[in-house]
Structure 1
Amino acid sequence: MTAPLAERIDALLPQTQCRKCSFAGCKPYAEAIAQGSADINQCPPGGEQGIIKLAALLGIAAKPLDPIFGIERPRLVAVIDEADCIGCTKCLPPCPTDAILGSSKHMHTVIAAECTGCELCIAPCPVNCITMQPAADQNWTAENANHSRRRFQAKNRRLAQQETEKTERLNRQKQLLAKIKSAKTSL
């Protein structure tokens, strides 16, 4: 059985989760292309080769990357100037693949092999200690994309689990407070 169109489109995207296409990640962009509400030329990291692959899959003509969404360029990775990092942790949540290590009030660093080059960590940094530099390996393969997709999905599962645990904890606290209040009123 053939995978749904959105999944086949998603499999061709670079999985940087950079949001440059105006969607919240590669999968929502793939779904929009499949529904006909987004064009195939909105992914700067995928560039010309990505557009050609999408066009072939969809049986349509390739077109140039729309410059509204950015320009195609060599692969970059985030680098933190560790001497200037204040350990604010504001760069951690936006990183789609958990490529940044650090904790509050301690220096942070980027695991270059896990960085997709999305640039989402730059804007939240209050001390501008994050820059983008050329990646040591310029080849972004389907294997890299699959690895990044798995890391992105793992992060989302972890965040969902944390949210579930938080909700359960709050519900237990509410139940305990209700018991305490009930005990006080019965006295």
Structure 2
Amino acid sequence: MYTLCVAIGALSALSLICGALLGYASKYFIVKKDPIIDQIDNLLPQSQCGQCGYPGCLPYANAISVNNENINKCVPGGTETMLQIADMLNIEPQPLSNSSTEKYQNIVAWINENNCIGCTKCIHVCPVDAIIGSKRVIHTVFSDICTGCQKCISHCPTQCIEMHPRITKPHYWQ
């Protein structure tokens, strides 16, 4: 019985020592995240479309902060987002020089519902969830959300997705 009590006591003491060391390490060896990255990420539209060349808005914000990436690559955010980032970082605004930026901002996906088979392949690749529908049901595009990234076109087996000019509404005016 004595050896069992000694073993339990030794394990308890070892657990307390390891717990104290982990608590100390969590307080004094913490790696602090750059707050600028979070501020830039909050300014980006969070569409995760990948049109900037990065897989999402957080990696793009990280590249702007750490790697001095150009601030004019966010297509869905457009000029307004670029100006806000330039103002926050106190740098010169950069013109949206990419011709595809203007092309993406003025187009929206459209699904020919007569040819849609409801396969949901386009839904899975849409970075902003602008395509509405379910399995074996005709899909449609919520044009107010669509960024015009064209990722859905290549995944459609019936080629029923086309890009059409965006209908001009007052909230799109700049």
Partner of 1:7: 38
> What runs of 5+ residues in structure 1 fail to find an aligned partner?
141-187
Identity %: 45
- Of 23, 26, 51, 1:20 maps to 51
Secondary structure, aligned partner of 1:23: coil
What is the number of residues matched between the two proteins?
Answer: 138
Is the contact made by 1:45 and 1:72 (CA closer than 8 Å) also made in structure 2? no
> What runs of 5+ residues in structure 2 fail to find an aligned partner?
1-33
Distance 1:49 1:101, change over 3 A: closer
Quote how far apart the aligned CAs of 1:31 are.
1.6
Partner of 1:139: 171
Partner of 1:103: 134
Looking at structure 1, the residues matched to 138 and 161 of structure 2 have their Cα atoms a distance apart, in angstroms, of 12
Q: Is residue 101 of structure 2 the alignment partner of residue 71 of structure 1?
A: yes
Question: What are the equivalent positions in structure 2 for 1:83-94 lying under 5 Å apart?
Answer: 83-94=114-125
Question: What are the equivalent positions in structure 2 for 1:159-170 lying under 5 Å apart?
Answer: none
Is the contact made by 2:111 and 2:160 (CA closer than 8 Å) also made in structure 1? yes
Secondary structure, aligned partner of 1:122: helix
Partner of 2:160: 129
User: After superposition, what is the alpha-carbon deviation per residue over 1:126-153, rounded to whole angstroms, capped at 9, x for unaligned?
Assistant: 222112331454636xxxxxxxxxxxxx
Partner of 1:59: 90
Aligned partner letter, 1:139: H
Is the contact made by 2:49 and 2:128 (CA closer than 8 Å) also made in structure 1? no
Normalised by the size of structure 2, how large is the TM-score?
A: 0.65
Looking at structure 1, the residues matched to 170 and 109 of structure 2 have their Cα atoms a distance apart, in angstroms, of 14
Secondary structure, aligned partner of 2:62: helix
Distance 1:110 1:39, change over 3 A: same
Is the contact made by 1:16 and 1:117 (CA closer than 8 Å) also made in structure 2? no
Secondary structure, aligned partner of 1:112: coil
